[in-house]
Structure 1
Amino acid sequence: MDGISKADLDRLEAREMAKGPAPLRPRDAATLILLDRKGDDVLVLMGRRHMKHAFMPGKFVFPGGRTDPADSRIKVAEELHPDEQDKLRAGTGRVSVARARAIALSAVRETYEEAGLLIGRRGPFSTTKADWQGFAEHGVAPALGCLRFIARAVTPPGRVRRFDTRFLSAWRSDVAVELPQGGPTNELEELIWLPLADAMQADIPAITQSVLGDLRQRLAVDPGLQPGGEVPFYRMLAQHFRRDIL
């Protein structure tokens, strides 16, 4: 995707273009790429967005959503690895420790809400925050030490929604509880585990395809996804979409 022009990207993602002329400021968001191994294949969890959604209707995506700053105050069983925290704070904009923590926790929360998967450790957990009551009810303390920062992407100008999205990953073995009925929000029409190569051929946004390509290359040399790996950063500069490394 490095070097693609804004006009070319607009044609690829025409359905996501905003009708109004006013530019939108990107908002923090996080998404979780949950991985599993089956033989020689690496599987990735994806879900299809409802057609009624204004942002990326009908596309296969990872669980995720907008970051809630209040998530930074949630107690966890294990904090972010220091190398991952440093990576989350790198790049453009001022990212505090609390903001980086909120971004990571929002990925964990959204994965529960959209997929019914609780990442953490079995044990007592209590909170007054309504969005985290599912963890308390199922006896799971959220954990961040398993998360790896995979990519960052800022939605180009002119879209219906604009996000500064951090793509994080974890393994299925990091899930303490899998709810058979899925998550409580029902934002995704279906959830499927796809081999990485098949996921790249699905109906996915252009940026998702690029991130999956980056992830496949990283797994080839770092199958365990060690902390502190290189993180591609996608953004629009001077009418071209650039790929830098954090």
Structure 2
Amino acid sequence: MTTLEGMSRAELDKKEAGDFALGKGPLRPRDAATLILLDRSGREPRVLMGKRASRHAFMPGKFVFPGGRTDPTDSRVPVAASLHPDVERRLMGLGRKATPARARAIALSAIRETYEEAGLLIGDKTEFATAKDGWQAFSEHSVAPNLSKLRFVARAITPPGRVRRFDTRFLTAWRDDVAVALPEGPTLELEELSWLTFAEARKADLPSITMTILADLEKRLQDDPELSPEQPTPFYRMLHNRFQRQLI
């Protein structure tokens, strides 16, 4: 059992009081995407993390992976290669909004947010053009986003009672998939960007859900170093007043 699994709403509120601004928030969580970049060049894998500014209501001052809210129109951005079918199916999730376009938007949002927050363009060096906002750097540097190597490793829905709620899909890519590395991202939303081993990351000031997913990912890498796309994915959410983990 993880540190969060099985907690009641009251227990989770107390544990996460420093991670989120508590209060009456939206009833329906918004789609969001996070990209966990993995560097396997050394003896131990490392992950890219940065510190959120203290002014944010959502996870202020915490170390997190690059990510943010999904823009549905990202689904219209051309790509060098599409999602693996198993990844697409799991990203589609459950319910009436389960469509390939939604899965594509989530994946592309993760790539766009990684550029905006970390200055890293993930994809293939080839001709690329789009007028879509947020993708100009990909056109300027001739990088077409490549979705085929993304892996879906976790999903988590922010519990009720927070001023921000997100239905976040956590994806991974390898550092080798970065086609162009710029000095910094244009939004400056993440500070102190660092490549950390899992042991180093555990010592950082992490949100509870980030710590939980980091532990899941470390275990999966030990059992499945290539992160096979057909493997089940943990899904965290509040059900029947308990924070539950199920595999999807």
Q: Could you tell me how far apart the structure 1 residues matched to 2:177 and 2:223 are?
A: 22
- Give the 3-state SS of the residue equivalent to 1:127 in structure 2: coil
Q: Quick check: 2:34–2:66 contact (8 Å CA) kept in 1?
A: yes
State whether structure 2 residue 174 is matched by structure 1 residue 175.
Answer: no
**1:161-240 correspondence to structure 2 within 5 Å:** 161-179=164-182, 181-240=183-242
In structure 1, list runs of 5 or more residues that go unmatched: none
Deviation at 1:60, TM superposition (A): 0.3
Partner of 2:103: 100
Q: Quick check: 1:24–1:161 contact (8 Å CA) kept in 2?
A: no
Q: Quick check: 1:10–1:17 contact (8 Å CA) kept in 2?
A: no
Shift in CA distance, 22/66, structure 1 to aligned 2, threshold 3 Å? closer
State whether structure 2 residue 53 is matched by structure 1 residue 50.
Answer: yes
Q: Normalised by the size of structure 1, how large is the TM-score? A: 0.96
Q: Quick check: 2:52–2:60 contact (8 Å CA) kept in 1?
A: yes
Deviation at 1:160, TM superposition (A): 1.8
In structure 2, list runs of 5 or more residues that go unmatched: none
Q: Could you tell me how far apart the structure 1 residues matched to 2:189 and 2:222 are?
A: 32
Structure 1 residues 55-74: Cα deviation after superposition (integer angstroms, max 9, x where no partner): 11100000000000000011
State whether structure 2 residue 85 is matched by structure 1 residue 82.
Answer: yes
State whether structure 2 residue 83 is matched by structure 1 residue 73.
Answer: no
Q: Quick check: 2:25–2:163 contact (8 Å CA) kept in 1?
A: no
What CA RMSD, in Å, does the superposition of the two structures yield over aligned residues?
1.2
1:222 aligned partner, one-letter code? D
Partner of 2:155: 152
Q: Quick check: 2:25–2:165 contact (8 Å CA) kept in 1?
A: no
Over the matched positions of the two proteins, sequence identity in percent amounts to 62
Deviates more, 1:27-36 or 1:192-201: 192-201
Deviates more, 1:76-85 or 1:35-44: 35-44
Structure 1 residues 163-216: Cα deviation after superposition (integer angstroms, max 9, x where no partner): 00000000000000111x211110011100000122122111111011011101
Q: Could you tell me how far apart the structure 1 residues matched to 2:177 and 2:239 are?
A: 37
Aligned residues: 244
Partner of 2:144: 141
Q: Normalised by the size of structure 2, how large is the TM-score? A: 0.95
Partner of 2:62: 59
Partner of 2:11: 8
